[in-house]
Structures are given as C-alpha cells and as structure tokens.
Structure 1
Amino acid sequence: MKQKLIYILLLFISIISYGQVSLSLESDKAEYNGRDIINLTIVLELNGGDLEQQSVFQLPDLSKFTIIGSGSVTNSFMDPLTNTVITEKITRLALEPKKKGKIRIGSVLVTVSNKIYKTEPFDIVIKDIDRRSSAHIAAQNEVFLNMEIEDREVYQDQPTIAVLKVYSRNIDNLRKVRNIQLPQQDNINVHPVHFRKSEIDPSDMGGSMASQIIAVFMVFPNHAGYVEVPAVSASVNTLSSKNKILSNKVKLNVKKLPEGAPGSFKNAVGNFKVDVYCPTAGKTEVEKPMNVVVKVSGEGNIMDMKLPGIEASQDYEFFNPKITSKVYPGKVGMKGEIFANYIVIPKKQGAISIKTEEFSFFDPEKKEYVEVPVAQLSIHSFSHEQMMESRSTVEKVNEYTNNFLETVNTPVLKTTSFKVKEKNKFNWNILFVNIAILLSLCVAYLVFRNWQKKRSLVSKTTSTQSLGSVAETEEEIRTMLKTDITDYFNYLKNLKENNDYTKFFETVEELDSEVRNQYFQSSTKDFTMFLENYKGNNIAEEYRTLSQKIQIEKYAPVKSEEGIDELYNTIVKLYSSISK
C-alpha cells in the first residue's frame, strides 16, 4: 500500500514539474501573399525560480525564407497566488518567403534544467511571390538587376552595404547596362562606394546565367522600424532601343537607438572626434577677422550628421562657416574629415577661449553613447597700439618701405610688386634689397634736388613771379598729386563683373593709398583723424566702417555678388566725397 502511495505521489510531482515549462511557436496567420512579412513568435515560460535555461533557441530550417529582422524580450514577475517567480522570454522573427506553396515550419528546441523541450511543427501557405524580389525566378528576362543586402538589421543612421548585380543569359548584354540611378527616399541616405564592374561570373544561378557586380553603395536609414529600400534603376542600350530596368526592393529592420541619449546627441552614429584650431600663425588683433577651423573626423554617418559648431560668446563674433570635406568609404561607414571654416572677430583685449558645442555619438559596436570632450582654442588678442609696439625694427622698416612704395606707385612701374611679405624667419636678402632700394631712391632724390636747385636759380633770374603763400603751395602740390579716381572706379567695376575678387580687393587698397597720398597721410589711423578734423565726424565714421567692411568681405570664405555690389557702391560714394 505504501509503495502505491509513493508511486502516485511521484507521478503527480512529475506532472507538476512538467507543467512548469511551457514552449510555443506561432505565426500571425496561416496564409500569406508574396509581399507579406511572416511574423513568428517563440514564447518560453518558466514557472519557478529554480529553472534555468541552458541553451538558446535552436531554430528550425529556414532556408526557404530570408530573415529580415529579429528581436527578444524577457519579462519576470511574482505570482501572488502561488508565490513563485514566473519568467517569460519572447522572441520574434520577421521572414520573407522565397517561394510559393505550402511550407512547413519545423520545431524549435531549447534545453531547460537538463531537459530538452520542443514545439510542434505546422504548415503555412504562400499564395504568390513578388517576382521582382527574386533573381532566380526572373530568369526568363534577358537582362535584370538584383539588389543584395546581407545585413538587414541595423540601428538608425547605421550603414549597411548594398551590392547591385546584373544577370543575363547572354554575356554581351552585361556590357550594355548604363546610367545606374541609386534609390532616393526621405527615410534613407544613400552614398556610393564605387561603380567599378567586377569580373563576369559565367556560371551563376546554377550555371544557367552570367552575372556581374556593377555597383556597391551604402544605405543609411534615418528612421526606425521596417524601411523599404526602393529599386535601383538602369538602362540597357542597344542599337535599336533603350530600355529601363529596375531591381528588386529590400526591406530593412531598423532598430531604434537605445534610450538614455545625452542632451548633446543629435544623430551621429559611428566613432568621431572633434578638434578646433587656427590655420594661420601670428598675433590676433581686436576687431580684426581671423580664421578658426572646427574639424570632425571619424567613421560613420559623417556626411549626414549635424556637425558641432562654435559656442556663442560675448568675447567674439563669428559668421556661418564654409564646409569642406575629405571623405571616402570605410569598413563601417563613410570615413574621413569634415572642416568647418569660421570667420571669428575678437571683441575684447586679452585672453579668449573659443569652444566648440557639446557633441556626442552612438557607438554601434559598443552599443553605448559616447560624449566627446569639448574642444578649446585659447588665443590672446592685442590692441592696435600693442600690435604696433610689438613689431621689431626689421618689421617696421618693411612696413615703411611698403608704404613708400605704395605712395609712389605709377602705371609705368608697378612698385607694389616689391612689397615685402612678412615671414616668421629673418631673411637677410630682403633686408639688403630694401637697403639697396632706399639708397637708390636717396641718390635719385639728391640728383633731382640738385637739378631742381639749378633750375630755380635760372627761373629767379628770368622771372619775378610771386611764390605765393604756404597754403597755396600745398594746394598746388595736392593738385599735382591728385589722381583721377574714376579710372579706379571703372577698373573695379570690370573686376566685379568678372568675379576677380582677389584683384578687386588689391585695387581697393591701391585706391585707398592714392587718396591718402593726396592728403599726405601714410596710415589709415592718421587719415581717419584727418577726416575728423577737415571732413567731419560723419565722413570719418563712414570711412572707418567701410574699412572694417572691406576686411570682412575680403576674408569671407564665400563671397556673394550682392555683397560685392553693395561694397562697390559704398566705395564709389565715399571716395568721391573725400577726393572733392
């Protein structure tokens, strides 16, 4: 009797323990069209905290399908009635059928606490297949395209490689494919890798057709969910006709980026770093423009992401940058460098820190967000007086020589070409050339002065004309030195219309030098004070504003025709008023 009770008790225990593990495999429906996605759901329920899943799900043979996506989730909770822990693991598969008809879905196997559990197989029915999505079924066509994407499960803004193949029974038809048009769609960004044609495979698709790779490109999906890559188009050119052919469409399972993104994250996916630097050497002057470059380098969606800019500050002012890039295809995205060239104008004297905006990216390999340290450029701006005091003797000699050569420039001898360029290293040849020029000019001046004295002696003996006052003499000299500035205006107009902006600004500097020379003023600062005393504060302020505007337009990375037109009209108006 006791043995029977023990046997019955063990039987009930085995039944209860068997019921603690539940495994099921189901499809969302039994019949599908060729365009439908087959969704399979695997559910494993463990009733009890002592149960342990010892293996992953072993899937059945799915060679008749293309797996376009998968995902898993695990839920655990406490049953208040039995006071036991229930763990539920759910896995979902998204499949695309390759053939029509009745297809059997096999069993899923899993090992839990040294026991193997499996699901029951079942059948599904595929009514029809989209013939354009399979290259094997389109064999009756003479030439057709097939787009292949191996990795169809990616994160948002993470690239996947697409390979475009052309198939034909006649190898000669492969050479007639031209004008490949990559897909364009709002929810994807497409960048070509190359359009080099591979060697022809004469025995593809079981030896029945020849194939050739004609394009490789990257697809960056920018929206989460199921994204369909549109068909690639091409043309087949023959002597008699020109036919357009389309490839198949491919569906991607785009995973949403994980939660917990920092506030500085925009849409950068990959691996990047940020630098900021000044490309030109030398001291910085207050209210004078300088170049600052923000460089972003790395690999990922670098062509489509939002670049970090310069952080706004009261210490400086900056304008919209000019963007240049050196990017080429990499292994896990587009790789290279993006340069944002800013024009920055310091607003205060002393130490200034130029910082970039906060920036972060998502690393798909580590599956985590990475915050990039803020890049910083420290500069020291000087006032105009400090810049003049800090110049060496050689630099001052160079500046005086340049000013002298500018003031005596004539159409016959283009002396501005002798201007001394400042260099970081001392060049003795430049000093000797400057001294030789000065000595030559001094000798010429002495000879001219001696000749002038002899001539004045002769004129005194032959004429008793009055010499006049100092003011009249100064006015007479100014009249002799006065240049017809309308010639400059016409020349500037021609340069502006021909978009020769470099020569335009050089001519503006020559015009300014000529006008200053009429009033015996060698520097811009002295000329501004002269205008305040003799022309009024309004003319002086207009001259000061125009000088700053000329510098900004000169060093602007992108010059607009409207801005140059406005600058030209201001120059004509102001210098006409000054030279009256």
Structure 2
Amino acid sequence: MQHKLIYILLTLASVIAYGQVNLSMDADKSEYGNKDVVNLTILLELNGSDLEQQTRFQLPDLSKFNIIGSGSVTNTVIDPATNTLITQKISRIALEPKKKGKIKIGSVLVTVNNKIYKTEPFDVTIKEFVEKKPLAVNTSGEVYLNMEIEDREVYQDQPTIAVLKVYSRNMDNLRKVKNIRLPEQDNINVHAINFNKSEIDPSGTGNMASQVLAMFLVFPNEAGYIEVPAVSASLSSYSNKNKILSNKIKLNVKKLPEGAPDCFKNAVGNFKVSVYNASKEKAEAKKPLNVVVKVSGEGNLPDMELPKIAASPDYEIFAPKITTKVSPGSTGMKGEILANYVVIPNKSGAISIKTEQFAFFDPENKEYIDLGQKTLAVNAFSHDQILEARSTVEKVNEYTNNLLETVNTPVLKTTSFKVKEKSKFHWNILLTNIAILLGLFIAYLLFKTWQKKRTLVRETASPKPLGSVAETEKEIRELLKTDINDYFGYLENLKDNGEYEKFFDTLEELDQEVRNQYFQSTPGEFKTFLEKHKGSSIAEEYSSLQQKIQMEKYSPVKSNEALEELLKTIVNLYSQISK
C-alpha cells in the first residue's frame, strides 16, 4: 500500500511539472514623479505542449490612467533538459496618470485549459502631477478650443502673445473649424499675428489630435486683473453649424512705475519720432505745405496717442491724414505711422514747426524715455520773392500755360499743349527697353540654333529595333529600379535621430518600391514570387523580417540596439533581392 501511495504522488508531481502556468504583472517601479510614464509588464509562461491560452489578457480597471502605448511578443522554446515546450507571451502597456496619490492596479485574468488564472493586485504612488490646461466647454462635445497665454503678468499697454489651439479625437473635425473671431473688450486691444494653421499633432492633450489655428497679441489698456474673453469659431458640417468657444484667461496687469514725465500719454515700447517737409515746391506764405510727423518702432504702435504738431501763430494746422504701416513683431506691433498735416505759413521768413513733447515707457529696461520736441525749420518766401527767383524759361513757361488755359479754340484743344514744369528725359527707361530688345533677339538666335540641331539629329538617328517581350519587361524593370542604398542611409539617419515613426513609414515605402520592381502588389504575392525565382530560404527570410518589423513597430518601448539589428537584417535581405 505504501508503494502505491508513493507511485501516485510521483505521478501527480510529474503532471504538475509537465503542465505548469505562470502569470505575473509588474510595474517598472513603485513611485513616479512628474511626467513619468507607468510601464506595466504582463508575463504568461506555459510549460507544456498541451496548454492552450483560450482568452486574451483581461486588463483591470485603468480609468485613472491614459493608455499611451501597448505591444506584445510571443516566444517559444524547448527545454533540452526535460524536452518540454515553453511558450512565453510578454505584453507591455505604457500609462499616463491622471492624478496624484496612491493608485491601485487590479488583477489581469486569462483562461488556460478551461481554468482562470489571475495576477496579484498592487499599488503605485504618483508623487507629483501637473494637470493639463483645461479645455473650454463647447456645444459640439467633440471639438475643443483652447486659448493659451504663457506670460500672464505684463505692464499696462504691454502686449502678451496668445495661441489658439483646437483639439479633437477625430482629425477630420479639425478641418471643419472656421470663422475664428478674436475677443473684443473695452479694456483690451487685440491684433492678429496670423491665422495660419499648423501641422496636425496626433498626440495632444488626452490623446487628442491638436492644431494651432491662430496667434494674436493682447494689449491690456488698464491695470488690475483683466479677464480675456473667449475666442469663438464655427464648426461646420453637412447637417448643421455649431458655435464653439475657447476658455477665458485672467491677466495680472501691473501699473506703470511712478515718475512718468508730464508729456507721457500711453506709449509703451521703443519708439523714434521725426518730422519732415513732404512738399517738393518752395515754401510760400499763405500756401499749403505737406508736413509729416513719423513715429516708428515696436510696441503698442497702432493704439498709442501720437505726438501732434504744436499750435503757433506763425502757421495754421489742419487735421492730419494717418497712414499706418505696421506688422506683428516679437515685443509688439512694429513699423511706422505717418501723420500727414497740411500747414499754411502765416508769414514769410524763418518758421519753426514743432511737435508736442513725446515720451514712452520701455518695459525691457523699466524706464521712461523723454524724446522732447522735434523741430522742422522752414524758410517761407513771399509771392514776389518766388516770382523774382524764377528763371526766364520758367517765366515763359508760366505765361504760355496761362494763355493756353484761358484761350481755347473750337478747332484745337490748346490746353493739351501745356508745358510741364521740370520735365526731363528718363535714361533708365530707355536703357531698360534696349536691354529687353537685346534679350529677345538673343533668345530668338538660340531658338533657331536649337531647331537646326534638332533637325540634324532626326535625320541621322536610326530606328531602334523592337526587342522581345522578355527584353521589354527587363527594360521596364530597369527603369523602375530604385537605388535602395539611398533608403539605407536615410533609415540610418532616422534611427540615430530617434524618429521611429518615420523610420517604419520609410520601411513600408522601401518594401513597396522593391515589390513594384517585380510587379507584385502585396507581400504575400511577393513571397510566392521569391520562392519561385530567389529560393525558399530568401522567401522565408522575407516573411520573418516582416514579422520582426511589425513587432518592433508596435512595441511601446523602442530599443536603439534592436533597431540597429533590424536595420542590418533589412540591408542584407533587400540587397540580395534587388541584385
């Protein structure tokens, strides 16, 4: 009886050793800091050829994480000591935590031979966590606008840059956002930088694709806490049209420092002021002059109060015509603003046309700069002095013009014969026309020469004999043949730079090019072609390589050494195929 019991125990031990299942799940560490990724590794080991995995891994509740990547690989080996088949399946999951604190990760379940196995639950601790910027509520539920302002503490009338982004899980929705309306409010001035859409970023906040829609400058014109209103846009589709809104942002607008000059108004930035006479004629008393006050620089240029021409009994001033030539800069709107005044001197002689005093605040150096007054010295002549200063030819021209203007015959319109003052011959126009004619003449000669050579080539060329179908197919294949060495060098650069997504896209392009050389559309057809023309070993290597590429492509953690080994295999195999 005792021998029978020992025999039974030994039999059970051999069965247990023969058919053993090991299932485990571990994290790469137990504590995580800011921006760390939680990497989970699930291992299933089957010792025995009669064990069959009947279900996939049933993951625990991971709602407190964002799944940012996953991948799996299966290895099969035979233990030489026991002659037992060992199958290992390894899965990796990369998680992004949504909040800090201690988070419990539950059990993974799997069914093998009608029996359920599970792992032990464990805790991970998230010590630090930076929440993503909240996205604005919208009416569509699928597309979100988000306004971002990095510098939220500025001086009054100092600009800050705002960026408008759109987020959606469906990339097609990003193309439907139109009619962007920038915020409007009395205590801010808004100027657009551009409405150029950026490239779509597929890995935005919360695994949503994102795209930059617009950039603009916000100039707060009063101190205190100011709320920038939401940016609105329309989401157009075939069925309806929804309005979506971005989030609102509060700015802390600091007061300008004390000690501002009396002439300071609201100019913030860095500016220069100049005044000049835009009239080409001599200044004459009681006749209008065009005087321009020019303000140039960078800051709140379109919104600031410009220096005016100061009043004086020596001249009369009329309201100016403002011309603005500005564009967005790095610290505000840059360019120039021209105020074109009409000034009429009230007397002859020396006259000083002065501007008002002008000062601005430089936020970079945190100081006020007083530019003072700018002066334009004008020597106004009387009407008699203007007449005396004219030459004999100018007097004759004026007399002739007056006669032709006042006396007009019914037969001939004499006003068309008026003599234009200061007319001259433009040598630049003449030389330009001569150069154009010479260029056209040279082009005509070159064209005739090329036409003659082409006629001679046609006459001497002998007809090319038509080859067989095989020769024609070989010739087409040579034309389609791609220099795969260029692909090898490009793949090496992508691997070294860590551009893994582009690396695998280029691999697919290389495989397509090589298959096109042999007129094969799919990898399965190409494998059959390789078996017939290159041998079964090459075909098996090709099939094995495609599996390795897919495993590395979807692996959550990319190893530079693994990609180096993969690239060597690719170079060796495709070099043999393209011989």
TM-score between both structures, scaled by the size of structure 2: 0.50
